[in-house]
Structure formats: structure tokens, C-alpha cells
Amino acid sequence: MSLKGRDVISTCDLSSQDFSRLFEEAEELRVLFEKGPLNVARSRIMATLFFEPSTRTRLSFTYAMAKLGGQVVDFGPKDTTSVVKGETLSDTIRIINGYDADLIVLRHGLEGASRLASEITRVPVVNAGDGSREHPTQALTDLYTIWKALGRIDGITVGILGDLKYGRTPTSLSYSLSMFKGVKIFFIAPDLLQIRGEVTEKIKGNVDFESTNDLRSVLGRLDVLYVTRIQKERFPDMEEYLKVKGTYRIDGQLLRESGASPLILHPLPRVDEISMDVDELPNAKYFEQAANGVIVRAALIAEIMGLEI
């Protein structure tokens, strides 16, 4: 039932029951944290290793552990470590293993890095993003935000917009949505950035989905519009990037003209795909979504460490 001692490498390591239970636990933690930090993780240590830039994921994991009363040891920027001397990821993980952390949170540019780490260490590993592949705790944050706003995940229609090819959050979001009943996904992207075949292979039969490049034609049917940034840094060829740069931009006028008011989510950071005039709309939930990252990650840490709340 609980995730005690488990790795979370793929979103598929979680079930819909795990999601629902973690949502309830996050709710409890929200209330408890309002009164101040807890002391339940005293004497526990979480190691965070971010080999790629991060604001929300690293900070929300760190805040979550601080609010549970535990300690965080951060690897720091990789250019201050022995990575610059040529140390391999496997050796780095072996060292952390020897220091007896209770949990390792790893972000790395290479797909499969977290899986590799989990094979080396007996410490549970949580994938905080591996290249273009997966970002399971972002999916947890995304689904929690939808559940909190709409009261359900079953039966909703979600448009996932932007860079579905190089982005890891669309992949993890698709896997998580496919675990619930009666969900419909519209993959909205230029052909060059459409969702990868490995993702549709995995979700087909469990969720209804369609691909389109025409946002306006589906906007009115969406309960949720999940906007993503074009992942400039992951394009092997800048010519390709220039072809798709700025393809979509959500602004107040587009939403008014469509008459639609779906929840608007974004994993952030945004570049230019959501205009700032959208921020004040009641259905724009991306800052709330970012804030929710703390309590859902706290719930996950608590389960994996087997903490008594």
C-alpha cells in the first residue's frame, strides 16, 4: 500500500491508488504545515543532486523536507564537484550511498540516469527529471492541482500544448492521466514537436487521445489546458528550433474569443507561451500549481521514508 523504501523513477511506478492516497496525505500536510514545520523527519537526511538547472523542483523538495523537520544535503552546482575532474555518475552515487542518506533526489540530463542510480544504491531514488524522458513528481503536482480545482481526474478532457517531443512533463502527465477512467487527451503541437510514439504506445487502450496542431479547434472542449515551454536546450539543431519558436501564445484575447475557461496549468518556467495578462484570471492555476509542489513532495517523502505523521 505505502511506497515505503520504494524508488520512483517513472510515473508508471505509481498507480491511481497511490496518486489518490498521496493527494489526501498532501491535504493533511497542507493543514499541518499552516501551524508551522513538523518534527517527524528528525534525524533523516535527503540528498539532492541536480545536474541540470532547477528552481521549483529542487526548492520544493528542500522546503518539503525542511517542513517535515529533516535535513537536506545538496550536491551543489556540478562545476564545484569532482564531476569536472571526470567522476562518473555511478561513482558519485556510490559515494552518496556510503554516506547513508535516507533518500536521493536526482535530476540529470541523461535519460535513464535515475534508473542507473537506483540500480547502484540501496537508498530509494526519486527521479526529479531525466533528460526528455520523465518527471514523475511534476505529474503528481499537476494531477493534485487538477484534483483540488475540479474535485476529480476521472472523465476530464485535457489539452497538452507545446513541446511534447522534448518535454518530459507531457510524457509523465500522459502516463498519469492514463491511469484514471474516461480521460481524453488532445496533444496540441506542431508536427515537429508531437508526442513521441513510445508514449502513445504505452497509453493506448487506457485513455482516449487525439493529436492536432490546431489549438482553436479544441480549446472549447477542454477542462484543462496544460501549456509547456519549447525546450530550446534539447534541440539537436537550432534550425529546427527556429521553425517552431513562438508557435503558440495563450493570451486573454484568445481565451475571450474562444469563450472557454479551462484550468490553465504550466510546469514553469514560462518563456513567452503564456501572456502575463492571463496571470490574473481565476482559472490560471500555474502559480498555485508550483506552490502545491511542496505538499505533494512532502507526502511522497513521508511515504518513502515511512514517517509517522
Binding residues for ligand NCD (CB under 6 A):
56-57, 129, 135, 138, 168-169, 229, 267-268
Q: Record the cell numbers describing residue 50, joined without a space.
A: 541536480
Catalytic residue, candidates 44, 58, 67, 107: 107
Query: 23 vs 61, which CB is nearer to ligand NCD?
Result: 61
Residues whose CB is less than 8 angstroms from the CB of residue 255 and which lie 6 or more positions away in sequence, other chains included: 219, 261, 278, 281
CB of 190 to ligand NCD, least distance (A): 17
- Evaluated on CA atoms 22, 23, 28, 31, the torsion sign reads positive
- Evaluated on CA atoms 247, 248, 251, 255, the torsion sign reads positive
CB of 263 to ligand NCD, least distance (A): 17
Q: Give CA–CA dist 186/268, Å, rounded.
A: 20
What are the residues facing 16 on neighbouring strands?
none
Query: Which helix (H) or strand (E) element contains residue 240?
Result: helix 238-244
Query: 19 vs 226, which CB is nearer to ligand NCD?
Result: 226
CB of 294 to ligand NCD, least distance (A): 13
What are the residues facing 159 on neighbouring strands?
186, 225
Residue 107 is among the residues annotated as catalytic for this protein: yes
Dihedrals phi, psi of 155, to nearest 5 degrees? 80, 5
Q: Give CA–CA dist 291/233, Å, rounded.
A: 25
Catalytic residue, candidates 6, 56, 78, 115: 56
Measure the N-to-C terminal CA separation of the chain; round to a whole number of Å: 16
Q: How distant, in Å, are the alpha carbons of 223, 250, 284 from that of 278?
A: 16, 8, 7
Q: Give CA–CA dist 280/109, Å, rounded.
A: 34
Query: Which helix (H) or strand (E) element contains residue 51?
Result: none
Can you tell me which residue has the cell 523542483? 57
Residue 266 is among the residues annotated as catalytic for this protein: no
CB of 56 to ligand NCD, least distance (A): 5
Catalytic residue, candidates 11, 44, 48, 57: 57
Catalytic residue, candidates 135, 229, 266, 285: 135
Query: 168 vs 285, which CB is nearer to ligand NCD?
Result: 168
Query: 138 vs 292, which CB is nearer to ligand NCD?
Result: 138
Residue 200 is among the residues annotated as catalytic for this protein: no
Catalytic residues: 56-57, 85, 107, 135
